[in-house]
């Protein structure tokens, strides 16, 4: 388990990096932590990235039982075990944070089976057909034991209830007062259970990860840190409620703007600092505004082509697809279903032509490209190649030209969106540069965003997705940035706007 002396010693090995105290845990944490939302044990690069981070000064790892349906926790467990076996670290150096509350995937299947057998989990909230939520002790006990097994640990340093506010969103209790009483009653029950696990030695500290800690106090799913803190105090004057987590970034600034504690006289960050509660910040680079994700980053431009050149590429791509359909697919003696799948796959030109103006960000397009467009193209090339003779040079040339055009077209569209996005970012850069010293004005938007969050003393650690080794190297640069007093004035100006 993480210990105060070990985390202090760990930080001393990286004198050029920045660390903070994690509230009343006393642990010393790197100012940026490794967020494991999108990592999975099955991806080798994720292993390399996490190893690189821990070996080079990042000692807070944040995951959850539902990330990658358990694959995220398995990754953390395997990497920690590998580093221990090679004596790169000792267990006490690293702060492991995980969370419980979601029923998805295998967890949900088991819950549905238990319900069918007449032995359901208590106090389950059914958010949708593929998402349930629960923080009842019976469920948390199962989740904690599963997490310990996947993490290959005897003890978890910090265990968080994961978005308990789902109850407020989906409960059918009509009276707001009764709904809130039930909500905080469930949290109290969960805290009592977590205190018992502290005594058993399975966790060191606990807390809550909620998307609504920083929301206005009158929002229907607002979670009050003040009320939660008082609940922990009712359980024990020496309770182990020690850490909270919530989103904050340059757009979602509620943590420092919304006075929602102590009769609306203090912000959640002020209250947390006063009570020595450690604060983890998530989504530092992915703001949600008007139901859209806004990526607070500058994007690389791979192919610098004009709109006309891109439309010509899309037209060329559609031409290749038509030729493949006319000369080959229509001649295939296959069942209707297989032909239909191939015709659907050979539709990239049409999709891009009809939707070009609907792609609202490079990230949006990158997801569509990775999860839809490229798999379609690969499927078409593989299936057509399997059906026709290997010595058909004309087909080979056509498929090669098609594949090359797909890649060039998709990269060009992503780059064009990146260029537009970077152009929009110029205004944000100009605003931020008013609070940055000259030597930091050329940093990219992601660096500036994280630097500004880390300038707040109330924030213990900013969680960043680092699933690639180059992302880790990038964040290590941010951790080396000195904090300039003028940087903190950015937040003062935000309060006054």
Rg, C-alpha atoms of the chain: 25
Condensed to tens digits (0 to 9), the pLDDT of residues 299-329 reads 888 878 888 999 999 999 999 999 999 988 8
Q: What is the pTM of this model?
A: 0.89
Q: Dig out the tokens for 117 from the structure.
A: 């057998």
Model confidence band, residue 390 (pLDDT cutoffs 50, 70, 90): low
Condensed to tens digits (0 to 9), the pLDDT of residues 239-292 reads 999 999 999 999 999 999 999 999 999 999 999 999 999 999 999 999 998 888
From CA 224, how far away is CA 234, in angstroms rounded?
A: 16
| pLDDT value at residue 389 | 65
CA atoms within 13 A on the CB side of 475: 31
3-state secondary structure of 224: coil
| pLDDT value at residue 336 | 66
From CA 434, how far away is CA 441, in angstroms rounded?
A: 9
| pLDDT value at residue 193 | 98
Distance from the Cα of residue 284 to its chain's centroid:
9
From CA 312, how far away is CA 355, in angstroms rounded?
A: 15
Average model confidence (pLDDT) across the chain: 93
Condensed to tens digits (0 to 9), the pLDDT of residues 401-458 reads 999 999 999 999 999 999 999 998 999 999 999 988 888 888 999 999 999 999 999 9
54 touches 94 (CB < 8 A): yes
From CA 398, how far away is CA 70, in angstroms rounded?
A: 43
Model confidence band, residue 334 (pLDDT cutoffs 50, 70, 90): low
How would CATH label the architecture of 4-295? Answer: Alpha-Beta Barrel (3.20)
β-strand 125-128 against 131-133: which pairing, if any?
antiparallel
From CA 452, how far away is CA 432, in angstroms rounded?
A: 9
Q: Where are the beta strands (DSSP E) in 265-346?
A: 266-267, 278-282, 286-289, 292-295
Which residues have CB under 8 Å from 268's CB, separation 6+? 213, 214, 225, 244, 246, 254, 255, 258, 260, 261
Query: Is residue 405 exposed (0-12), middle (13-18) or buried (19+ Cβ within 10 Å)?
Result: buried
Condensed to tens digits (0 to 9), the pLDDT of residues 187-225 reads 999 999 999 999 999 999 999 999 999 999 999 999 999
Condensed to tens digits (0 to 9), the pLDDT of residues 175-192 reads 999 999 999 999 999 999
Every domain of the chain and the residues it spans: 4-295, 307-425
Q: Dig out the tokens for 475 from the structure.
A: 């964040």
């Amino acid at each position: 388990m993480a210990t105060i002396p070990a985390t202090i010693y760990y930080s001393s090995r990286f004198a050029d990096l920045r660390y903070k105290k994690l509230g009343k845990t006393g642990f010393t944490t790197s100012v940026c932590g490794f967020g494991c939302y999108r990592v999975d044990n099955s991806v080798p690069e994720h292993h390399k990235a996490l190893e690189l981070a821990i070996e080079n000064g990042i000692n807070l790892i944040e995951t959850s039982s539902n990330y990658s349906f358990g694959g995220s926790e398995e990754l953390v467990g395997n990497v920690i075990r590998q580093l221990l076996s090679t004596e790169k670290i000792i267990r006490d150096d690293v702060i492991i944070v995980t969370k419980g509350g979601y029923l998805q995937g295998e967890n949900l299947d088991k819950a549905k089976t238990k319900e069918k057998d007449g032995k359901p989990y208590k106090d389950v909230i059914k958010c949708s057909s593929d998402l349930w939520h629960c923080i009842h002790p019976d469920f948390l006990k199962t989740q904690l034991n599963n997490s310990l097994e996947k993490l290959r640990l005897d003890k978890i340093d910090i265990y968080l209830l994961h978005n308990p506010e789902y109850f407020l969103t989906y409960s059918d209790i009509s009276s707001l007062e009764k709904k809130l009483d039930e909500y905080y009653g469930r949290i109290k029950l969960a805290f009592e259970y977590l205190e018992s696990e502290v005594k058993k030695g399975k966790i060191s500290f606990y807390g809550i990860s909620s998307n609504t800690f920083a929301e206005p106090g009158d929002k229907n799913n607002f979670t009050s840190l003040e009320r939660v803190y008082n609940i922990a105090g009712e359980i024990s004057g020496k309770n182990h409620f020690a850490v909270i987590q919530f989103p904050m970034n340059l757009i979602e600034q509620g943590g420092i703007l919304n006075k929602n504690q102590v009769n609306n006289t203090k912000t959640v960050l002020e209250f947390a600092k006063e009570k020595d509660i450690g604060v983890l910040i998530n989504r530092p680079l992915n703001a949600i505004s008007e139901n859209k994700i806004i990526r607070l980053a500058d994007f690389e431009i791979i192919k610098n082509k004009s709109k006309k050149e891109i439309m010509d590429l899309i037209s060329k791509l559609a031409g290749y697809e038509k030729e493949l359909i006319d000369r080959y697919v229509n001649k295939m003696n296959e069942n209707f279903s297989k032909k239909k799948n191939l015709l659907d796959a050979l539709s990239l030109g049409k999709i891009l032509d009809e939707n070009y103006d609907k792609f609202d960000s490079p990230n949006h397009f990158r997801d569509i490209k990775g999860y839809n467009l490229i798999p379609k193209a690969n499927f078409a090339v593989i299936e057509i190649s399997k059906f026709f003779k290997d010595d058909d040079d004309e087909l080979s040339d056509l498929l090669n030209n098609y594949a090359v055009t797909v890649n060039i077209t998709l990269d060009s569209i992503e780059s064009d969106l990146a260029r537009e996005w970077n152009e929009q970012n110029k205004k944000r850069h100009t605003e931020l540069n008013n609070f940055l010293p000259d030597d930091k004005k050329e940093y990219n938007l992601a660096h500036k965003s994280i630097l500004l969050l880390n300038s707040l003393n109330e924030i213990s650690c900013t969680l960043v997705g680092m699933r690639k080794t180059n992302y880790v190297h990038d964040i290590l640069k941010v951790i080396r940035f000195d904090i300039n007093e003028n940087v903190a004035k950015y937040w003062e100006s935000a309060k006054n706007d």
